[in-house]
Structure 1
Amino acid sequence: MNRIFRTFFIFLLLLTTRNAVAVTVDTNPVKPIYDVNQTLVDDLDSLLKLASTSGGLPQQDTSDLNQLFERAPLAQTELTQLLENISQDSHTHLLIPDIKSYQRAQQKIDRKFDGDASYITDIARATLVADDVKTLMQSYRTLAETTEVVQVKNRFSEPKASGYRDLNLLVKLPQTKMIVEVQLHLSEIADIKSGPEHQVYEQIQNIEAVAQLEHRPLTDMEMMQIVKLRQSSHKLYHKAWLSYKRQSLAQFDTTQIGDQTQAA
Structure 2
Amino acid sequence: MNRIFRTFFIFLLLLTTRNAVAVTVDTSPVKPVYDVNQTLVDDLDSLLNLASTSGTAPQQETDSLQQLFERAPLAQTELSNLLNNISQESHTHILMPEIKSYQRAQQKIERKFNGDASFITDIARATLVADDVETLMRSYDALAETTEVVQVKNRFADPKASGYRDLNLLVKLPQTKMIVEVQLHLSKIAEIKSGPEHQVYEQIQHIEAVAQTQHRALTDLELMQIVKLRQSSHKLYHKAWLSYKRQSLAQFDNTHIGDQTQAA
Question: TM-score over 0.5 for the alignment?
Answer: yes
State the partner residue of 2:218.
218
Q: Describe the SS at the equivalent of 1:180.
A: strand
Query: What pairs up with 1:166-177 in 2 under 5 angstroms?
Result: 166-177=166-177
Aligned residue for 2:128, secondary structure, equals: strand
Alpha-carbon distance in 2 for matches of 1:185, 1:160: 14
Shift of 1:195: 0.2
Whether 1:83 aligns to 2:88 is: no
Count of aligned pairs between the two proteins: 231
TM-score of the pair, normalised by structure 2: 0.86
Tell me which amino acid in the other structure corresponds to 2:69: F
1:92-107 equivalent positions in 2, closer than 5 A:
92-107=92-107
- Could you tell me which amino acid in structure 1 is paired with residue 88 of structure 2? Q
Instruction: Look up the SS of the partner of 2:216 in the other structure.
Output: coil
1:168 deviation in Å?
A: 0.1
Question: 1:44 is matched by which residue type in structure 2?
Answer: L
Q: CA shift at 1:98, angstroms?
A: 0.2
Deviation, structure 1 residue 35: 8.6
SS of the equivalent of 1:50 reads coil
Contact 1:152/1:170, CA 8 A, preserved across alignment: yes
Q: Name 2:209's counterpart in structure 1.
A: 209
**Amino acid in structure 1 at the alignment position of 2:192:** I
Give the Å deviation of 1:259.
Answer: 0.7
Cα shift at 1:261: 1.2
In structure 1, give the amino acid aligned to 2:180. Answer: V
The residue that corresponds to 1:150 in the other structure is 150
Q: CA deviation at 1:40?
A: 2.5
Give, in angstroms, the shift of residue 120 of structure 1.
0.3
SS at match of 2:79: helix
Paired with 2:180 and 2:259, the residues of 1 have a C-alpha distance of: 40
Q: Tell me the residue number matched to 2:133.
A: 133
What is the Cα deviation at residue 160 of structure 1? 0.1
User: Which amino acid is 2:221 matched to?
Assistant: M
Bigger shift: residues 36-45 or 168-177: 36-45
For each residue in 1:80-137, what CA deviation from the matched residue of structure 2 results, as whole angstroms up to 9, or x when unmatched? 0000000010000011000000000000000000000000000000000000000000
- The one-letter code of the counterpart of 1:216 is R
Q: How far apart in 2 are the matches of 1:261 and 1:100?
A: 53
**Native 8 Å contact 1:49 1:157 kept in 2:** yes
Q: Which runs of 5+ in 1 are unaligned?
A: 1-33
Share of identical aligned residues, percent? 84
Conserved? CA contact 1:39–1:45, under 8 Å: no
Aligned to 1:68: 68
Counterpart position of 2:240: 240
Distance 2:171 2:201 in 1: 30
- SS of 2:170's equivalent? strand
Structure 1 SS opposite 2:69: helix
Q: TM-score if structure 1 supplies the norm length? A: 0.86
Question: Which whole-Å CA distance do the structure 1 matches of 2:79 and 2:153 have between them?
Answer: 19
| Counterpart in the other structure of 2:187 | 187
CA–CA distance in 2 between the matches of 1:220 and 1:94?
Answer: 43
- After the TM superposition, which residues 49-64 of structure 1 pair with which residues of structure 2 at under 5 Å, given as runs? 49-64=49-64
Please state whether the residue corresponding to 1:215 is helix, strand or coil: coil
Instruction: List alignment gaps of at least 5 residues for structure 2.
Output: 1-32
In 2, distance between residues paired with 1:213 and 1:127? 37
Partner Cα separation in structure 1 for residue 195 and residue 96 of structure 2: 19
Q: State the distance in 2 between where 1:84 and 1:234 align.
A: 32
Instruction: Report the Cα offset of residue 262 of structure 1.
Output: 1.1
Superposed CA RMSD: 1.2
Distance in 2 between residues matched to 1:196 and 1:261, nearest whole Å: 44
